[in-house]
Structure 1
Amino acid sequence: MAVVTDKIKSVVDFLVKGFEPRETIFDEMAQEIDEDYPVQDNLALDPAYSYQPTVDKTSELKVVNHPNFKGYEVKVMEPRSFEDAATIVQHLRNRKTIVLNLHLLDKEQSQRTIDFVCGAAHALDGKPQKVGDLVFVFTPSNVTLSVDVTANQNKFNDSLWRAPLQQ
C-alpha cells in the first residue's frame, strides 16, 4: 500500500508542478527581465535634466533693411503759385508726407491751394492737419499724425480754415 500511495503522491507532485500559482510565474519572469536589462536603483529620484541658463538671442540678431523699403519721406514745400498744387498732390500720391508752408502766396491763392490739396488728400484717404498759421501737414493713409488740438485751438482763430475770404 505504501507503494501505491508513493506512486499517487509522485503523480500528484508531477501534476502540481505544472500548475504553480500565478505570482510565482510572474516573479520568475520579472527576475529574468531584470537580469536582461539592468536598471539603476532610485532612478525616478535622480533628475534627468540640468538647468542651463539660456543666452539672450536678441543680442545676436541684426536689423537688416528691406531692399524694397525706401522709408517714409517728408517733403517741405513752399508753393509760389497755384500751379504748384499739382506737384504737391503728386507727392501725396507717392505716399510722402507734405509740410505745406503758404506764406509766399496771397490769401486767395492760399485758399485755392488748400482746397485743391485737401480734396486730393481726401480722395487718397490722406489726412490734412493745420499746425501753424499758413502751415499745414498732409499725411498719406499709412501715416498717423498726432497733434495737441487744445493748445492750437485758440491760437489760429483767424486762419484760412476759420475765417471767410475777404473780397
Structure 2
Amino acid sequence: MSIKNKIKTFFTMDDEYEYEYIEEEVTSTQPNQIRQTSSNVIDLKSVKASATKMVLYEPRTFDEAQQIADNIVSKRAVVINLQRVNHQDAKRIIDFLSGTIYAVNGVIQRIGAQTFLCAPDNMDITGSISETLEEDFNKGW
C-alpha cells in the first residue's frame, strides 16, 4: 500500500464499519385519536377535556382560603361569595387570594357587593360591572 493510500484511508472513512438500520413503527398512545391532516378537523373529545372549569365558593372561615388558592393554581376560575364571612376574615381572604393571583399572573375582579372573580392567566376576562347599578339596586330601583 502506498503512502498516498495510507493517508487517504487515514483521513477518509472507509467502509470498515457495518451500519444497521432499524425501522421503528410509529404507534399512537391513544386508540381513539383522530389524526389531523391539513384540514381543519378537531376532535371534540380533546376540546371537552381541555375546557376550563369554574368553581364557586362561599367560605365561612379564613381556613378555606387555601382550598380556593389551590383551585386558582390548578388553572380554574373561582367565584367567591363573602357574605357568610365576617369583615376581618373577608379582608384576609382577599389579601391571601390577591397574592395567589399575583403569583400565577391572574386577575381578580369585584363582581358584586361581596362577590369576587379570581381567574388564572389562561382565562381572559372582558367587560366590567358598573358600581352605579349596585347602588341603584340597593336603593330599591
Normalising by structure 1, what TM-score?
A: 0.52
Name the counterpart of 2:66: 86
- Select the structure with the greater relative contact order (CA < 8 A; seq sep ≥ 6): 2
Rounded to whole Å, the distance in 1 between the matches of 2:127 and 2:69 is 22
Which amino acid letter does the alignment assign opposite residue 85 of structure 1?
A: A
Aligned twin of 1:124: 104
Unaligned runs of 5+ in 2: 1-38, 136-141
Compute the displacement of 1:142 (Å): 0.6
Q: CA distance change for structure 1 residues 156 and 112 in 2, over 3 Å: closer, same or farther?
A: farther
Could you say what the CA RMSD is over the residues aligned between the two structures, in angstroms? 2.4
* Matched AA of 2:55: K
Aligned residue among 130, 148, 153 for 2:131: 153
CA drift of 1:63 comes to 4.2
TM-score scaled by structure 2?
A: 0.61
Alpha-carbon separation, structure 2, partners of 1:127 and 1:67:
24
Q: Say which structure is richer in helix.
A: 1
What is the alpha-carbon distance in structure 1 between the residues aligned to residue 42 and residue 122 of structure 2? 26
* SS of structure 2 residue aligned to 1:69: helix
Query: Could you tell me the percent identity over the aligned residues?
Result: 22
CA separation of 1:114/1:156 partners in 2, compared to 1, >3 Å: closer, same or farther? farther
How many residues in Structure 1 have an aligned counterpart in Structure 2?
Answer: 97
